Structure 1
Amino acid sequence: MKELQTDVVVIGAGTAGLSAYRNAKQFTQNVLMIESGPYGTTCARVGCMPSKLLIAAAEAAHSIEMAPAFGVHSSKPTIDGKAVMARVKSERDRFAGFVVEAVDELPDDDKIRGYAQFLDANRVQIDDHTIITAKRFVIATGSRPSYPGVFNNFGDKLVINDDVFDWDDLPKSVAVFGPGVIGLEIGQALSRLGVNVKLFGVGGAIGPLTDPVVRDYANTVFAQEFFVDTDSNVSDMMQVGDKAQLTYTDKQGEKHTEQFDYVLAATGRVPNVDKLGLENTGIKLDERGVPIADARTMQCGDSNIFIAGDASNMIPLLHEASDQGTIA
């Protein structure tokens, strides 16, 4: 087992982690960055950037559809799903490549591959090969999609947003669960690209909207384009052959059983903090096991452990992650 000592350890090489690393290097050269997965931020690989590429294609198709309202007439657009996804993946890879290049330029001695787990508040172990003692730690491990266990009944027809951006072609039909930002963006984009989309939610929530008048209006507007039920009753979720099947009750109380090529779970994300051994550090955790941190300093209590980005469960946005990394 190799043993190292350093001033700062940054766990995670995403947006928050890279920001924390670069800022720490302004004050000390003794900074180590640990990463277990592929380099490239959530935003560039599976988040906002490929989402916007898909949305851009959908906007192009939608503009042609809406053109007659402006006195501009053309034939109905033909959607080439393979070409759409080829562009999404190509540009996505280019964006992620910029991040990978930036990481490649960092000193090799500063980068350690593997999973980090706290032994105590001053030491982490990386897999079975390295123990690092440090004066400060920054947890920047990001987040991952989360969905109810019953969704596993759909088998390999269940996908998360990460999977969408690896499709080679557009499917014919998708059931989307979760009318939050991710579900709305991808659901509307797929619908505008000719995919039969049905969007289901619970409790009536839509996006981040809280004003009841605005929320109801948003429901109406989205439902003009594709099926949206933000307070749905769905049952009999299963995989039948190569399709996902479910039964839902419409607003008139009638039951419908329908099959889809895929079910997209966009039901939220959870911070990647559950396997870090935080119970060994003595820091306070909330009911979800996430460290309680001061948003002004990103410090966890009065400890030498800081947290930044999606792992903090505060504001899961790219620029916020970068700012939190800087603050930490």
Structure 2
Amino acid sequence: MEKRKVDVAVIGAGTAGMSAYRAARKHTDNIVLIEGGAYGTTCASVGCMPSKLLIAAADSAHQSRKAPMFGVHPGDIRIDGKEVMARVRRERDRFVSFVIEAVEGFPEAHRLRGQARFLSPHRIVVGEKVEVEAARVVIATGSRPNVPGFLKDAKDRLVVNDDIFEWDDLPGSVAVFGPGIIGLELGQALSRLGVRVRMFGVSGSLGPLQEETIRHYALKTFNEEFPLDTNAVVRSVE
């Protein structure tokens, strides 16, 4: 097994990991950036960027429907789900290519590929091939979805938000569990693109809203577009 000794090891080459790498490199060139999956960052591949592409399509449809109130009559609105998703994936892939180009611009000696496993607080095995001893370690591995047990009965119909951007077409209907920021923005976008949406939450929470009057008004406003129950009790999924 190859052994390396470095000043800083950064685990995870996403947005946070790349930022940490650049910051550490101002102080030392004895550094490694470790990535166990594909380069591209959550933001560019399955997060902020593709979600905003989907929202842009939804906003376009929504504004077209509102146009008659201004005396503008654009005619019948037809949403082609395949065209919508093809553009989302095409532009998403373009954004990801910029990120990959940036990472691959780092010195090859600084990049290690493989899953990282700690042997001790300062010793890491990468891909079972390289052992790294690091004076400092930055963990920037991000997160992954945790699917509640009762939802697993949905089987092959179950998707997490990351999966949406691999769709070839828009579905006829979607049940969204979790009216957090991601659930709200994707659920509303899908609804405005013609997908039948119903959203479920627990304990009355709605996104980041804490003030009762504003939360009540927001709930009323969302329900004008699709059914949203923030106090749902889901006993089973069939």
* Band the TM-score falls in, shorter-chain normalisation: over 0.9
2:172 aligns with: 172
Q: Distance in 2 between matches of 1:132 and 1:161?
A: 34
Q: Where in structure 2 are the equivalents of 1:65-144 lying within 5 Å?
A: 65-144=65-144
- Residue 233 of structure 1, CA deviation: 2.5
Aligned to 2:157: 157
TM-score between the two structures when normalised by the length of structure 2: 0.98
For residue 46 of structure 1, what is the aligned residue in structure 2? 46
1:64–1:76 CA contact under 8 A, matched in 2: no
Deviations 1:14-38 (A, max 9, x none): 0111011111111111010100001
How much has 1:127 moved relative to structure 2? 2.7
Distance of 1:69 and 1:233 partners within structure 2: 39
Q: How far off its partner does 1:219 sit?
A: 0.2
In structure 2, what is the Cα distance between the partners aligned to 1:72 and 1:127? Answer: 60
* Equivalence for 1:299: none
1:178-225 alpha-carbon deviations (Å, 9 max, x no partner): 000010011000000000000111111111000010000000000001
Unpaired runs of 5+ in structure 1?
239-328
TM-score of the aligned structures, taking structure 1 as reference length: 0.71
Report which of the two has the higher share of helix: 2
SS at match of 2:131: strand
C-alpha contact 2:176 2:199 (8 A) present in aligned 1: yes
Paired with 2:225 and 2:20, the residues of 1 have a C-alpha distance of: 42
1:36 maps to 36
Q: Answer yes or no: is the 8 Å Cα contact 2:150–2:236 preserved in 1.
A: no
Aligned counterparts of 2:235 and 2:149: Cα–Cα separation in 1: 14
8 Å contact kept, 2:67–2:73: yes
Deviation at 1:105, TM superposition (A): 1.0
2:33 aligned partner, one-letter code: M
Deviation (angstroms), 1:120: 1.2
Greater fraction of residues in strand: 1
Give secondary structure in 2 for the equivalent of 1:144: coil
Shift of 1:168: 0.4
| Aligned match of 1:10 | 10
CA distance in 1, matches of 2:80, 2:154: 27
Matches within 5 A, 1:1-328: 1-238=1-238
Give, in whole Å, the separation in 2 of the partners of 1:203 and 1:179.
11
Q: Answer with 16-25 or 65-74: which moved more.
A: 65-74
Question: May I ask how many residue pairs the two structures share in their alignment?
Answer: 238
What amino acid is aligned across from residue 134 of structure 1 in structure 2?
A: A
Partner SS for 2:166: coil
Deviations 1:116-139 (A, max 9, x none): 121112111113211111111111
Counterparts of 1:162 and 1:194, CA distance in 2: 20
| Runs of 4 or more above 6 Å deviation | none
Secondary structure of 2:236's counterpart equals strand
Contact residue 11 and residue 137 of structure 2 kept, 8 A: yes
* 1:298 corresponds to: none
CA distance in 2, matches of 1:115, 1:58: 38
How many Å separate the matches in 2 of 1:134 and 1:50?
A: 35
Tell me which amino acid in the other structure corresponds to 2:226: F
- 1:76 deviates by 2.9
Note the C-alpha offset of 1:107. Answer: 1.1
Cα shift at 1:2: 1.3
> Are the counterparts in 2 of residues 125 and 132 from structure 1 also a CA contact under 8 Å?
yes
Separation in structure 1 between the aligned mates of residue 91 and residue 149 of structure 2, nearest angstrom: 33
Shift of 1:85: 0.2
Aligned residues: CA RMSD: 0.9
Sequence identity percentage = 57
- Cα distance in 2 for residues equivalent to 1:99 and 1:6: 25
Give the 3-state SS of the residue equivalent to 1:91 in structure 2. helix
AA aligned to 1:235 is R
